[in-house]
Amino acid sequence: MKKIVCKDYEEMSAMAADVIAFQIKSKPDSVIGFATGSTPVGAYKRLVEMDLDFSRITSFNLDEYYPLERDNPQSYYRFMHDNLFGLVNIPDGNINIPDGECENPIAECEDYDKKLIKIGGTDLQILGIGNNGHIAFIEPNDDLPLATGVFELDDDTIAANSRFFENAGDVPKKALSMGLRGIFNSRHILLLISGKAKANAVKRLLDETVSTQAPASLLKLHPKVTVIMTEDTQ
């Protein structure tokens, strides 16, 4: 695990954008796993400013709230289109995001997993980390899921995400999320961490233990992980 500490969010975003841009330039037909939330927004903004060629990029998003309409301002479909996909030349047919409006979420997750396996996994997987140490929507638990599935959100996660909604009660209680298999099948994982609230999660990430109660700690078992974090997370 390679750790890079930046002085602030802007520096972290710039370094993250450089890593993603290098992947796109070195392999124009890369498969990239994208993350949502406030942490990667700065990196996505810089990618747009770089005027990169996304025409052969295939994307797989980590997750989507369920149930939630695509046109809801807080859907991850809207997030990705507002912050990146709608601002670059990636073909609509190359974009893969779990469908938060699907009638059969189990079938949707199974199909998503099959697509990931068929394409051979991602070349680069972007991740954030939750205050409780979750990655994607894989919450702390005794047993963690390998497959993409319908996950119940932890109370801490719901509370943390409530800032994006008008009312805390509007936050969906479930999500369709990539499991550990999809994440670990990536050839390179880029983990972005910003803010004091992540300090406890970072401590578990960087210590000498692995625990399902801190899902991000399992990343220590992956052969190629780059962590870019701000000073205040330590």
Report pLDDT digits (tens) over 192-216. 999 999 999 999 999 999 999 999 9
- Does 113 map to a domain? yes
Concerning whether 83 is annotated as a catalytic residue, the answer is no
d(CA 220, CA 7): 24
The mean pLDDT value for 15-44 works out to: 98
Task: Given the residues 63, 64, 108, 113, select the one marked as catalytic.
Answer: 63
- Does 107 map to a domain? yes
- Does 205 map to a domain? no
Q: What is the pLDDT of residues 47-93, one digit of tens each?
A: 999 989 999 999 999 999 999 999 999 999 999 999 999 999 999 99
Q: What is the pTM of this model?
A: 0.96
Domain limits for position 128:
2-194
Concerning whether 222 is annotated as a catalytic residue, the answer is no
Task: Given the residues 61, 99, 113, 134, select the one marked as catalytic.
Answer: 134
Alpha helices in 120-230 (DSSP H): 155-161, 180-184, 199-206
Concerning whether 139 is annotated as a catalytic residue, the answer is yes
**How confident is the model at residue 56, as a pLDDT?**
98
Q: Residues for the chain: how many in total?
A: 234
**How confident is the model at residue 219, as a pLDDT?**
98
- Does 218 map to a domain? no
Task: Given the residues 99, 123, 139, 161, select the one marked as catalytic.
Answer: 139
Task: Given the residues 64, 83, 108, 132, select the one marked as catalytic.
Answer: 132
- Does 201 map to a domain? no
Q: Which residue has the higher pLDDT, 40 or 167?
A: 40
- Does 67 map to a domain? yes
d(CA 92, CA 140): 34
At residue 165 the predicted structure's pLDDT band, cuts being 50, 70 and 90, is confident
- Does 68 map to a domain? yes
Looking up residue 148, the CATH number of its domain turns out to be 3.40.50.1360
Concerning whether 134 is annotated as a catalytic residue, the answer is yes
- Does 200 map to a domain? no
Domain count, the chain: 1
